[in-house]
Amino acid sequence: MATPAGLIGCLIVVSTLLVGATADTFTVGEEMGWTIPAVGDIMYKTWASQKDFELGDILVFNWNGTHNVAKVTKEDYDNCNSTNALVAIQTASPANFTLDTNGSHYFICSIDNHCGRGQKVTATIGTSAAALTTATLSTVVFAIAIAFFTHL
Ligand SMILES: [Cu+2]
């Protein structure tokens, strides 16, 4: 039966689901794009550390000149090895990758020694402070909504 509390609970559940379903698009390196950073891999590490990656988000790699994007394992990321790329190496800009599994996603450029010079980026889902806060808030809101329903 439709009580005010029940309606509020329903609205909260729906809005929580909507927030969770929103996919964001991130342009790797922003204006700088996908290139060999003058400062080395700290550039993309810093960029990624400021992002709140979530399941379903999309990474967009933009570049000029000769680069590509290889999605690799952590070991191959560490060693700049692209011979066992997890999916086809993307050679045309822009290249999009969907963060379709939890955990970390590793990307390198396989041209010459670009990776060794810092053209590599890791996107890890759900480890930033912002993501944890969002997850915690969602859980709390959900618990409140359940309380509304069970006390009707
Ligand atoms: Cu490159």
Q: Give the C-alpha separation, 100 to 98, whole Å.
A: 5
Cα 144 to ligand 1 centre (Å): 49
Cα 110 to ligand 1 centre (Å): 6
* pLDDT at 32 > cutoff 80: yes
Q: Mean pLDDT over residues 6-26, rounded?
A: 61
| Greater pLDDT, 69 or 131 | 69
Which pairing describes strands 70-72 and 58-61: parallel, antiparallel, or unpaired?
A: unpaired
- Determine the residue type at 103: G
* pLDDT at 33 > cutoff 50: yes
Cα 102 to ligand 1 centre (Å): 26
Which DSSP helix (H) or strand (E) runs through 20? helix 4-21
Cα 113 to ligand 1 centre (Å): 8
Domains of the chain by start residue, with CATH: 23-128 (2.60.40.420)
The pLDDT score that the predictor gives to residue 22 is 80
Cα 125 to ligand 1 centre (Å): 24
Cα 119 to ligand 1 centre (Å): 6
Cα 53 to ligand 1 centre (Å): 23
Cα 111 to ligand 1 centre (Å): 5
The pLDDT score that the predictor gives to residue 126 is 84
Q: Is the dihedral of CA 117, 121, 127, 130 positive or negative?
A: positive
Cα 98 to ligand 1 centre (Å): 20
* pLDDT at 12 > cutoff 50: no
The DSSP bridge partners found for residue 98 are: 58
Percent of the chain at pLDDT exceeding 70: 70
Rounded to the nearest integer, the mean pLDDT of the chain is: 84
pLDDT tens digit sequence for 42-85: 999 999 999 999 999 999 999 999 999 999 999 999 999 999 99
